[in-house]
Structure 1
C-alpha cells in the first residue's frame, strides 16, 4: 500500500491556474474522505478463534454494567471460542484493541438511548443508563452477530471462528420506555426478559400490594361500611361498598393516610395505584354527580380526588385508571405526578383499535391533550379461554403504533401470564414490537416460526395467516376478550376450517417427527386447534364433531376422535406445566374431569333428549334464548357462551314435554357459576311432575350445597341430581331460584344470572 502522502498525491492533480485557496480546500476534503474511509473499514473482533480485543469498563463501573459485560464476553466466546478479558481503564493493555462498554465518551445521552459505534478499530456500546447499555449489548449481538433468543433456553447462536463486522453507527432511543408483556416467560426468566428488553414484572416500581383496583384495600368494607356507609357509593337510594364516595372529605383523609402507610412499608416503591375497584357501580350522590356533570365524565371526580392525594406525595407517582366508566377524559388536567393508566378492555380484537374501537382511540387522543404521563393497559388474549384460537396477532403492531404515536411511554400488554394459545410466539412478537413498533411484521413472524419450530415453521405460519385471513372475511364478528370458541363455529372456526387447521398441524408434526424437542413445541402450538375441536364436539356441531357416533351395531358410542384428542390434549398440557384454562382459576384437571363427565352423560339414556321445552320465564341473550338448548344433546362448558341458557334477575322456569306419560325416577340438570361475571348457582332447584301440564306435583327440592360467599369458587359447574320414587309423568317442570347479588359483591345492586344446560330424565 502507498504511504499516506503518496496516496494523497495520486488523488490530487494540481493546476497552476487554480487559486491556492481552492487547492487547500480540495486537499482538506480529500484527507477527510480518506480518513473517514479508514474509519469505515470492517473490524475483526476474532480470527480463527483468537482475539486481540479486550472489554473495557470504567474504573467506577456498576455491578450491573459488569454483569452486562460478562454476558457480552460469554456470547462472543460462544460464537468464536475466543476469550475476551474484561478490564477497567486502569488496567488497559496497550497492545490490544478495545470494546468499550458504558458511556466512555461522556456523551449526554437520554436514559433510554443506545449507541453502538465502530471507530478506529474499536467498538463502543454506550447507553444513557445501565439498562440502556444492557439493551445495547443484546442489540449488538442480535443485530450484528445474528444471535436469536426465541424462548427461555431456546437460542440460535451462529458459530463463527472469525467475527468481522462492518462499520456501525447505530443510535436508537425506544419511544416506549417501559415495556411489559404479561407472560411468565419473562417474569420467571429474567435473562430472557433482558434479551427481549422487557420488564421482569407486571408493575415495576409499584407498591407490591397496591398495583390496581385499590379502593377496597385502602378502605375495606369489613372495617368501615357498617358504621360509615356514607363513605361508599350511593346507588339508587342505598349506599353500597362497590366504590368510594370521592367528594367525601373523610374518605380523602383516610385514603391519604392509607397511601402514606403503604409507602412507609415499601420505601423502595415510587408508584402506588389509587384506583377504582373492578366494577362500574360508582357514586351518584348529588356532590359526585355535580362534579361529573361539570367535567363531562365520571373521571372528573376521580381526577380531582387523585390530584388531591398526589399533592401530599410530590416525590411519588400516583397511578389511577382510565377504565370503563372513567375512560373518557375530564376537563381537569391530572397533576404532574399522576400517571393515567388507560385501558382498552372493551375493544373488538378482530381488527386494529383505530378501525374497530375508535372511541378508545378518541379517548387516548383526549387524554394526550391533558397529560404526557400515560400508561397503556392493553389486552392480547381471551381471558375466559386461554387456549382458544384468538386471531388478533395481526392487530398487535398497529395497536402498539397507535399507542406510540400518541405519546404513551409506558405500555403494559396484558397477555395471559400463564401459557395460552401460541404462547411463545405471542410473547416474542409482542416484546419485539414494543422495542421497535416499525419492524417488518411478516419478517418477524417468519423469523420466529422458522427459528422456533424449524422445519415445522412454514406450516404453523400458514395456520396463523389462514385463521387471520378468515376472521378478516367476517367483518361483523366481535372478537371479545371474554368470549368463547363456540361463538366462532360459523365463522373462522367452522367445521371445514377446523379440519384444515388440524391438517396443517398434522403436516407440521410430520416435518419434525424425528426431533422430539421440536415435536413437543408443535404439539404445544396445536393445543388451540385441539381445544376448539373438543368444544365443537361437545356442542355436536356436525356428525364428525360430536361426542357420540353411530357404531356398526348400530349403537351410539363415544367418538374415538374425541377420546384420542382429549387424551392428547391433557397429556400435552401436563407435560408443559399448563394448569389453567382461564383467568377464573378453572384448571386443566377440572376441564378434563368436566369433559369426561360430559362423555358419561352423553352415553346415558335420556328420555328428555330432543323433547320440546317451553320457557315459562323469559331467558336473555345467550343460546339464542332458545329453551330447546336444554334437550339438544350438546353440553355446556366452562363459559356461559357455550350452550348455556341464561336468566338475568329472574328465576328459571321451564317445562319439558316427554311426549307421553313415562315412568321416571331421576332428574338432573347442570348449572354454571362464574362469580366475577355475576353468574351464580341457583339457591335451590325444584323439580315437578305432571300428566296434564296443569297440575304439577313436587318431585323434590335441592338446595345449593355451596352457598355463595367471598371464597366461593369463581368458575364451576354443579349438577343438581334428584332421585325419587318412580312416578308416571309426561311433563317435568324445573324451577331454579335466582341467587341475589350480595351487598359485598362488586356487582352489588345489579341482577345476577342463572345459567342452565342439559336436563337428563330417566
Structure 2
C-alpha cells in the first residue's frame, strides 16, 4: 500500500472511531486457569462419565474438531495423565435446567448440555473461545465465541431462534450456531396449505371456504375433514409422526385475505364473518392430539388476530408479526407499541409459544448499508421482558445483502443473550474474517449505527436512498469509506478479498442510487455501473430487493433511461410546476417533475410523485411556451403497488383546451407510460393547467413533465 493510501485509511479510521455508549455488558470471559493455558503442554478431552456412550461420543467429536484446528497435534490427547494436562470434560445431562453450562476450575473445564443439539453448538463455541485464549488453536473458519470460560449454567433468552439470510442458508451453519431455518425445520411455512394437496386440481370443494353461499378458491374451510386428512397424510408421508426423526413445525394459516368460511360446521365452531380463529384453532387442536411430538402454529393476523376463548395444547402456538412496530431505539413509545403488547398479552393467556416474526432488512434495497443492530437489540430486550418464546428474523433469504455476515452473527448472538455488547461483537467479527480491513469496516459500520442511535432515527422496511441519507448515511463519509476500502482490498488475502469484492460490488449500487437521487450528481455513473455488473460472477446475486428487483433489469434501466437526452430543448427544464389543491391554492413547486431525472419503472422511491386523487390538477406558470408543440408526461404503471397510469390528460389555458391524450389500453406489468399531448399555441398571458384523470387504480405516479415547441 502506498504512503498516500495508508494515510487515507488511517485518517478515515481515526475520523470514525467512536466511543459507543450503548451501555451493554459483554459475557464475562473469565475465569482463566491459574497461570493461563500456556502452562499446560497438553489438552486432554475426556467424557465426564465414561460409562455413558453419549459422553464418549461427544468427547471424541470435540477431539476430532479440535485436532483440525491446533497447530501442534501433540498438544491434544484422549488419555488422562497425572500432570501437565488441562482437562476438558464433556457431559450430556438431560436434567440440566439450562441450555448449557461451562465451569472452569484449576486445571479443568466441564462442558455440559442437556441435548446433543446444544452440545454441537457448545463444542464449536469452546473451540472458538480457545482460539482467542491460546495461540496453539486456530479457528479462522468459526465465528467468535460468546461463551465465557466460567459461565456456569445459562439459558438462551429465546427458545426458538431463526434468521432467514444468506449467511444462515447452510444447514451446517444453522446447526453450529444453534439456529433454525424455515426451509429445513418447518414442514409448512407461511400461506402454503395448498402444498398438502400437491396441486389445485386435487383440492376438493369441501376443503374450500363457503362464503355468501358459494365455495371460493381463495380461502379454506378449516372444519373440513378433507383438509384435515390431507394435512395428516402430508405429515405422515414427509415427516412421520415425529418419534423416529426430528420433530417438525407446521404453520396452518388462512390464505392472505379477509374471507372467513361460513359453513354450518365453522359457524358451530364459533366463526363470525370476520373471525376465523375458532375453526382454525379447532383444527390445530385436532392435529396436536394426532401428532403430539410435532408443533403447530397459526398467526395473529387478519381473520385470526383474535385469540381463542380457551387455552391451546402445549404443542400449539401463534406467530405475531412485528411489522407495525417502528424500527428505532425508541421501541417502547407510542400507540403502535401499546397495541402490539396488548395483542401479545391476550395470546399469552392461551399459549406460551409466542413466535415473533420480525424483520432485519430494507426490503426495497438489500445493497445499501442498513445499520439495524442497535435498534433490534432494543426490540429483543423488549421481547424478553414480555416473555416472548421465539423470534424469526426475515432477512433477504438467499440473496446477498450488504453486511449480512456481521449482522447475522450479531443477531444470532443476541437471540441467545440480549445483553451482549454489540460494538464488541461487530469488532470481533470483522477482526476475525477481515484481518486487513477489519478496523476500517468496524469503524464505519459502527458510525452508521451511532447515527441511527443519536438521531433516534426510524429505519424504513421499504425505503429508498433518500430515507437512508435522512436517517444515517452521510454522502461524504460514504465516499471516503468506499475509496479507503477499495485501496485496502487490493492488499487483502484471498478469502478476505473475495468477501470485499462482493461488498464493494454491492456498494456500487449505493453509489448509483446517490447519483440518481441527485445527492452525488458530480460523480460519473458509468464507472460504478460497469463495476456493479460484476454481480454476475457471484452466486445468489440476482436481486437487489424483495419484489421486482432483478439486477439485470436495474442495469438495463440505467442503460436505457439515464437522464434527459433533450434537456436543453425542454422548455420546462428546471421550471416551477405546482399542484392545484382542492381549495384553489397552489402547493410549493415540485422539483422532481422538471429536474431532468427519470424514475425507474421498478422503483417508486426516486423521482416519482404519487397521489391518490381521482383528478390531479397541475399548474405551469404563464409564458412558458407560445408555439404549438408537444407535451410529454411520464407515468408509472405498477399494478403490484396499486399504481396505475391515467385514463386521460387535458391541457388548458384558461377555458381554452390546448390538447388532450387518452389511454388506449393499460400495460399488464411494470412500465413507464408516456402521455404525449399535442398542444396548440399558448398565449403569453394565463397559467397552463394540466388535468390528469386516474385510471383503474386509485394511485397515480408522475415523473418528468416536458414541453417541446414546434416539431422537436
Whether TM exceeds 0.5 here: the answer is: yes
1:320 deviation in Å?
Answer: 0.8
Tell me which residue corresponds to 2:13.
none
1:395 deviation in Å?
Answer: 1.7
Q: 1:492 to 1:145 in 2, by over 3 A?
A: closer
| SS, match of residue 671 in structure 1 | strand
1:674 deviation in Å?
Answer: 5.8
Taking the aligned partners of 2:493 and 2:378, their CA distance within structure 1 comes to 36
Taking the aligned partners of 1:204 and 1:759, their CA distance within structure 2 comes to 51
The correspondence of residues 415-426 of structure 1 with structure 2, limited to 5 A, is 415-417=395-397, 418-426=399-407
Larger Rg: 1
Taking the aligned partners of 1:71 and 1:462, their CA distance within structure 2 comes to 35
Tell me which residue corresponds to 2:157.
175
The correspondence of residues 347-362 of structure 1 with structure 2, limited to 5 A, is 347-351=325-329, 353-355=331-333, 357-359=336-338, 360-362=340-342
Moved more, 523-532 or 319-328: 523-532
The alignment status of 1:389 with 2:378, answered yes or no, reads no
Tell me which residue corresponds to 1:339.
317
1:507 deviation in Å?
Answer: 3.3
Taking the aligned partners of 2:612 and 2:205, their CA distance within structure 1 comes to 32
The alignment status of 1:669 with 2:634, answered yes or no, reads yes
1:137 deviation in Å?
Answer: 0.7
Moved more, 383-392 or 625-634: 625-634
Q: Answer yes or no: is the 8 Å Cα contact 1:113–1:173 preserved in 2.
A: yes
Q: 1:224 to 1:42 in 2, by over 3 A?
A: same
Taking the aligned partners of 2:206 and 2:693, their CA distance within structure 1 comes to 36
The correspondence of residues 588-667 of structure 1 with structure 2, limited to 5 A, is 588-601=551-564, 604=567, 605-611=569-575, 613=577, 629-637=592-600, 638-648=602-612, 650=614, 659-662=624-627, 664=629, 667=632
Match of 1:703 among 665, 677, 693: 665
Match of 2:515 among 520, 537, 549: 537
Moved more, 694-703 or 72-81: 694-703
Match of 2:121 among 135, 138, 144: 135
Tell me which residue corresponds to 2:244.
none
Q: Answer yes or no: is the 8 Å Cα contact 1:467–1:492 preserved in 2.
A: yes
| SS, match of residue 639 in structure 1 | coil
Taking the aligned partners of 1:326 and 1:361, their CA distance within structure 2 comes to 17
Tell me which residue corresponds to 1:302.
277
The correspondence of residues 47-126 of structure 1 with structure 2, limited to 5 A, is 61=53, 69-70=60-61, 72-82=63-73, 103=91, 108-110=95-97, 113-117=99-103, 124-126=110-112
Q: Which deviations, in whole Å up to 9, do the C-alpha atoms of 1:207-257 show, x marking residues without a partner? A: 2xx3112466679997799989992567xx99986655xxx7x75445424
Q: 1:179 to 1:699 in 2, by over 3 A?
A: closer
| SS, match of residue 435 in structure 1 | coil
| SS, match of residue 601 in structure 1 | coil
Taking the aligned partners of 1:516 and 1:341, their CA distance within structure 2 comes to 44
1:196 deviation in Å?
Answer: 2.6
Taking the aligned partners of 2:599 and 2:303, their CA distance within structure 1 comes to 32
The correspondence of residues 444-523 of structure 1 with structure 2, limited to 5 A, is 444-475=425-456, 477-493=457-473, 497-511=474-488, 513-515=490-492, 517=494, 518=496, 521-522=499-500
Taking the aligned partners of 1:322 and 1:173, their CA distance within structure 2 comes to 27
Q: 1:577 to 1:736 in 2, by over 3 A?
A: farther
Q: 1:364 to 1:574 in 2, by over 3 A?
A: farther
Match of 1:206 among 167, 176, 186: 186
1:264 deviation in Å?
Answer: 3.5
| SS, match of residue 378 in structure 1 | strand
Q: 1:600 to 1:614 in 2, by over 3 A?
A: closer
Q: Which deviations, in whole Å up to 9, do the C-alpha atoms of 1:647-675 show, x marking residues without a partner? A: 44846676767822445468462414261
Moved more, 68-77 or 458-467: 68-77
Q: 1:629 to 1:736 in 2, by over 3 A?
A: farther
Taking the aligned partners of 1:44 and 1:519, their CA distance within structure 2 comes to 33
Q: 1:44 to 1:55 in 2, by over 3 A?
A: farther
Tell me which residue corresponds to 2:237.
265
| SS, match of residue 375 in structure 1 | strand
Tell me which residue corresponds to 1:564.
527
1:53 deviation in Å?
Answer: 5.9
1:134 deviation in Å?
Answer: 0.8
Q: Which deviations, in whole Å up to 9, do the C-alpha atoms of 1:76-134 show, x marking residues without a partner? A: 442233168898xxxx8889989777537x66335x63234568966543322211211
The alignment status of 1:373 with 2:359, answered yes or no, reads no
1:606 deviation in Å?
Answer: 3.2
| SS, match of residue 640 in structure 1 | coil
Taking the aligned partners of 1:168 and 1:478, their CA distance within structure 2 comes to 38
Q: Which deviations, in whole Å up to 9, do the C-alpha atoms of 1:389-448 show, x marking residues without a partner? A: 333220222222222333333221112222223111111111111122222223212212
| SS, match of residue 163 in structure 2 | strand
Q: 1:79 to 1:224 in 2, by over 3 A?
A: closer
Q: Answer yes or no: is the 8 Å Cα contact 1:57–1:100 preserved in 2.
A: no
Taking the aligned partners of 1:456 and 1:603, their CA distance within structure 2 comes to 44
Moved more, 221-230 or 648-657: 221-230
1:491 deviation in Å?
Answer: 4.5
Taking the aligned partners of 1:661 and 1:350, their CA distance within structure 2 comes to 52
Taking the aligned partners of 1:703 and 1:405, their CA distance within structure 2 comes to 55
Q: Answer yes or no: is the 8 Å Cα contact 2:402–2:506 preserved in 1.
A: yes
Match of 1:753 among 684, 699, 707: 699
Taking the aligned partners of 2:400 and 2:254, their CA distance within structure 1 comes to 29
1:47 deviation in Å?
Answer: 6.3
Match of 1:429 among 410, 416, 421: 410
Residue segments in structure 1 that go unaligned for 5+ positions in a row: 1-38, 159-165, 547-558, 741-751
Residue segments in structure 2 that go unaligned for 5+ positions in a row: 1-31, 241-246, 683-687
Moved more, 593-602 or 376-385: 593-602
Q: 1:354 to 1:129 in 2, by over 3 A?
A: same
Q: 1:347 to 1:610 in 2, by over 3 A?
A: same
Q: 1:388 to 1:44 in 2, by over 3 A?
A: closer
Q: Answer yes or no: is the 8 Å Cα contact 1:73–1:83 preserved in 2.
A: no
Q: Answer yes or no: is the 8 Å Cα contact 2:598–2:703 preserved in 1.
A: yes
Aligned residues: 645
Taking the aligned partners of 2:269 and 2:330, their CA distance within structure 1 comes to 30
Taking the aligned partners of 1:736 and 1:83, their CA distance within structure 2 comes to 82
Q: 1:584 to 1:212 in 2, by over 3 A?
A: same
